[in-house]
Amino acid sequence: MAGIWLNSTGNSFNNVIKNCNINNHYRGIYCQGGYDITIENNSLLNSGHTNDQAAITLENIQQALTPGGITMSGNTFGGTTAFSGLKINNMRDLIIGDASVAGRNIELLDNCGLNNLSGTGNSSSFYALGLVNVKNAVVDNIDISRPITATPVQDFTGLRVDNGASYGPVTIKNCDIKRHRSGIVVSGGKDYTITGNDLMGCGLSSEDPALYITNITQHDGSIPMGIIAHSNIFGTINSLIPSTVLRLENIEGLKISDGSVSNTQIVLEPANGVALATGNSGSFPAAVLLYNVSGVTVEKLNLDFVGTQSGTGIRIFNNYESSFGNIIKDNSIKNRRMGLYTINGSDYTISGNNFQSTGIADDEPAIRMEHAAEGMLSGGVSISGNIFGGTGASFGMKFVNMSNLKISDGTVIGTNVNIGSYGTNGFNELTTGYALHLSGVCNSTVSTLNLSRSGIVKQGTGLR
């Protein structure tokens, strides 16, 4: 039950809930239906138990004279047993912001307590702010960070949007969402703009990334591919080091870059902490994870890790051969345990990447590919122009359960794995591991390669 439950049917207008103490409830205020509701200056301390039992829940409220059908301000959230702040379901024309945001109909000041949800959930399934099936919604300049006094410091999800296919657009900008397991999760719907948000200390694992985008589409092309994301800040704060900054799932046709590439939808600027992601936690550990994607290009990212070699730079996990045509090009993925790992899918292009000081073990080489199927590309791959070697690099490339590979230095006609010339590709610098490892491959050729090591010290294996 709730402290106040308002279930409006028919022509129910202008109900007001204000100046009430509604503390220590699973649900504080629940409003369903009606028109033009006002909720002001209520205390909801230690209310909000689950996502379906938020401190305040608004559902199916419509506009008569009040924009969005809601006027809300001055309410107080948070507390040591508060898990869920505000949930909005099936509403439209919302402007959610602090006092600096013009036209706001839901005001959430920095001291309203959504940055003080201190319950111990050890789960990203609790949200400070949850939006479900909303249209034309803006979230601007609010503070929903996890308090540094909470235990654990990193918990919950900051903001989650779950939209059906026909819902959107949604803008999330200039918000403080620090120290959550997951920072922003958007699932379904169309046309998202995600810019200027502080996601430092978010991204616990591949299941709980700092930014998680899944199943989105575009509406009319005004937001190409349905997403604009840039100027978001990642990285370490309060000793919370991210593992995964970005996860894309069930997505087609996006381009991810550092911002220097035209027609980029998702920008991960090199100065915004992306390379600090360790890429070492979760079921699919990686700094950047692509899951069941097709036609996605990752270009010119800087994922160079500083310190002891850590995690995987980019991982592509596809369940089906129909996930095809992904391109990884001109990225710098240095000083990782593993640089790039692809499994399943078809027709990968991997070119011009710098994997120096990456490749620490047989199962963690600079490039590892498993079960890439052949679609339009012979052998399902086109690989060229990548650089290996450098300090700490032991293992170069590994191919598992693949066929029709033609591996050479590029001088052989029909080559689809062009390792490049001796002395420039860095294979001569690999130390104790395997320069090239083929496991379970068939109908493949290795020709005209020089896998010799430089210098006089004998170690490692050229071809296994």
Report the DSSP pairing between strands 255-257 and 246-252: unpaired
Res 456: pLDDT: 81
CB atoms within 10 A of CB 9: 8
pTM given for the model: 0.97
Q: Which of 275, 272, 226 is nearest to 248 (CA)?
A: 226
Residues 296-348: pLDDT tens digits? 999 999 999 999 999 999 999 999 889 999 999 999 999 999 999 999 999 99
Residues 37-62: pLDDT tens digits? 999 999 999 999 998 999 999 999 99
Report the DSSP pairing between strands 338-343 and 312-317: parallel
CB atoms within 10 A of CB 40: 15
Res 1: pLDDT: 65
Query: Within 13 Å of residue 198, how many CA atoms lie on the same side as its CB?
Result: 14
Residue 352 and residue 329 in contact, taking contact as beta carbons nearer than 8 Å: yes
pLDDT truncated to tens, each residue of the chain (464 aa)? Answer: 689 999 987 788 999 999 999 999 999 999 999 999 999 999 999 999 998 999 999 999 999 999 999 999 999 999 999 999 999 999 999 999 999 999 999 999 999 999 999 999 999 999 999 999 999 999 999 999 999 999 999 999 999 999 999 999 999 999 999 999 999 999 999 999 999 999 999 999 999 999 999 999 998 889 999 999 999 999 999 999 999 999 999 999 999 999 999 999 999 999 999 999 999 999 999 999 999 999 999 999 999 999 999 999 999 999 988 999 999 999 999 999 999 999 999 999 999 999 999 999 999 999 999 999 999 999 999 999 999 999 999 999 999 999 999 999 999 999 999 999 999 999 999 999 999 999 999 999 999 999 999 878 888 999 99
Query: What is the C-alpha to C-alpha distance for residues 20 and 54, in angstroms, rounded to an integer?
Result: 17
Res 10: pLDDT: 73
Residue 422 and residue 428 in contact, taking contact as beta carbons nearer than 8 Å: yes
Burial class (CB in 10 A: 0-12, 13-18, 19+), 215: middle
CB atoms within 10 A of CB 130: 22
- CA 293 vs CA 82, 132, 344: distances in Å: 37, 24, 11
Residue 160 and residue 133 in contact, taking contact as beta carbons nearer than 8 Å: no
- Maximum pairwise Cα distance, the chain: 88
Residue with tokens 């990884």: 328
Query: What is the C-alpha to C-alpha distance for residues 247 and 224, in angstroms, rounded to an integer?
Result: 19
